[in-house]
Amino acid sequence: MKRVPIKLKVNGQAYVFDAVPENKTLLSLIRDDIGLTGTKEGCAEGDCGACTVLLNGKTVDSCLVLAVEADGGEVLTIEGLSRDGNLHPIQQAFVDEGSVQCGYCIPGMIMSTYGLLQENPSPTDAEIKKGLEGNICRCTGYVRILNAVHKASEMMAKESK
């Protein structure tokens, strides 16, 4: 397998890799090489959303993106959301609304919520369902997740005033 050098920023920190196999996924680079294990691997086929991160401001399934495709890019993972040791409002809203059961889907849910609220700060129920349709949760039935997204939207609106 050919190896190539890549540079990228993850959560604001610069990383340089001299020889990344061309077939390595961004998910594997994040978890195995950088050691940020908050991003989860579920299906590894683009169906579950557990591996969602932001790449250059857009949500992606990191299991479907090759690390070389992220060369020169900026990645945001769940570890990059907290500020000064405090949970991001989206994380806090998921906790407050009791939206977390086993937790496996939650980093991906939260990153998709982050992406959604960047584009649409005050989404309707239907817009939230559409925005999170790529994220599967086997535990919660989604109602509390929906509530958490609304709460996060309100919290972020208050913060920006």
Catalog residues that contact ligand FES under the rule CB under 6 A.
41-44, 46-51, 61, 63, 100-106, 137-140
Residue 44 or 155: the one with the smaller Cβ distance to ligand FES is 44
Residue 5 or 103: the one with the smaller Cβ distance to ligand FES is 103
To the nearest whole angstrom, how small is the minimum distance from the Cβ of residue 18 to ligand FES? Answer: 26
Instruction: Output the six-digit token pair for 10.
Output: 């993850």
Distance CA 39, CA 50 (A): 7
Gyration radius of the chain's alpha carbons: 16
Distance CA 3, CA 139 (A): 40
To the nearest whole angstrom, how small is the minimum distance from the Cβ of residue 117 to ligand FES? Answer: 19
Residue 48 or 68: the one with the smaller Cβ distance to ligand FES is 48
To the nearest whole angstrom, how small is the minimum distance from the Cβ of residue 110 to ligand FES? Answer: 11
Strand partners, 96: none
Residue 10 or 132: the one with the smaller Cβ distance to ligand FES is 132
Distances (CA, A) of 72 to 14, 34, 94: 10, 16, 32
